[in-house]
Amino acid sequence: MKEGVVVSDVTAGKAAEKAGVQRLDVITAVDGKAITKPTELVETIAGHRAGDVVKLSIVRDRKSRDILVTLGDRKNLGSEGEPDEQKSGPTPGDSKEGKSFNSEKAYGFIVENLTAANRQAYNIADDRKGVVVTFVAARSDAAEKGLVAGIIINAVGTRSVSNVQEFSAEATKANGKAMLLLIQGPTGPGKGTVAILPR
């Protein structure tokens, strides 16, 4: 993947969404100026006023394209939503996520459905949807990227997941390559996108 800034979320009705920017797009340039990190994106957009039209160069599904965006609130353009790192140790889950796909063997972590017991065990808010991480192997890329027990996975790639079966189906499509996850903590508003490398 080219250097750039991964769009972790797109706010409905805002400038980026209206222009066709999608979650997991990688913004590589603004008006021809290369973008390699979120601060560069913010600084570049900050140099424009609301109503200005800028050309975003993006990579989507490994294909490059340009999108014209009429700027509104630059905070809604999108950025790499890095999750807050949590230092608590891994907590093994009681069961594997499914017979068809072994995420522990493939990527170093286990997920389970958001049951009432898991919500209580990890203090997960009622509005959370997805699957919950219940175990992360030490020295795995998942652990290096800050994945810990209690983290919620909302989506794999561009597909939302609501249970282990859907997670396994989407994770299998990664075919042993880096798997992009949309994640959030058990509470709080923040979301982030991480790429987990296979073991």
Q: Is 116 helix (H, G, I), strand (E, B) or coil?
A: helix
- Please measure the distance between the N-terminal and C-terminal CA atoms of the chain and give it in whole angstroms: 19
Taking the domains of the chain in order of start, what are their residue ranges?
5-76, 103-196
User: pLDDT tens across 74-117, in order?
Assistant: 444 443 333 333 333 333 333 333 345 889 999 999 999 999 99
User: pLDDT tens across 55-77, in order?
Assistant: 999 988 888 999 898 876 444 44
Instruction: Specify the fold of 103-196.
Output: Pdz3 Domain (2.30.42)
Does the domain made of 5-76 have the CATH classification 1.10.10.10?
no
| Segments of the chain assigned E as strands | 5-6, 26-30, 33-34, 53-60, 63-70, 109-113, 131-136, 152-156, 159-160, 179-184, 191-196
